Amino acid sequence: MTLDDLATPPQVAEVLHTTTSALAQDRYLGRGIPYIKHGRKVLYRWPDVEAYLAANTVIPGGAA
């Protein structure tokens, strides 16, 4: 893993078209994208963001 694999909440929020507050709420509730805590700093791994998107993709008419 390199530093290029890490993203800040504002970077992830921009990609997901959401807010940093929504990401913080997900962390507080224990849901959402896995994250790394380094002191007070929160970081996300891009592969985790991609895996989260893949796991939450809905295919209309797909098998349940």
The structural domains of the chain, with segments of one domain joined by +, span 3-54
DSSP state for residue 32 in the 8-state scheme: S
Percent of the chain with pLDDT over 90: 86
Residue 44 has pLDDT above 70, yes or no: yes
CATH assignment of 3-54? 1.10.10
Distance CA(25)–CA(43), nearest Å, equals 15
What integer pLDDT is reported at residue 4 of this predicted model? Answer: 74
Q: Rounded mean pLDDT of the chain? A: 93
- pLDDT, one tens digit per residue, over 7-37 is 999 999 999 999 999 999 999 999 999 999 9
How many residues can be counted in the chain?
Answer: 64
Comparing CA positions, the residue from 42, 40, 32, 30 lying closest to residue 6 is 42
Handedness of CA 30, 32, 35, 39 (dihedral sign): negative
Q: Decide: pTM greater than 0.95.
A: no
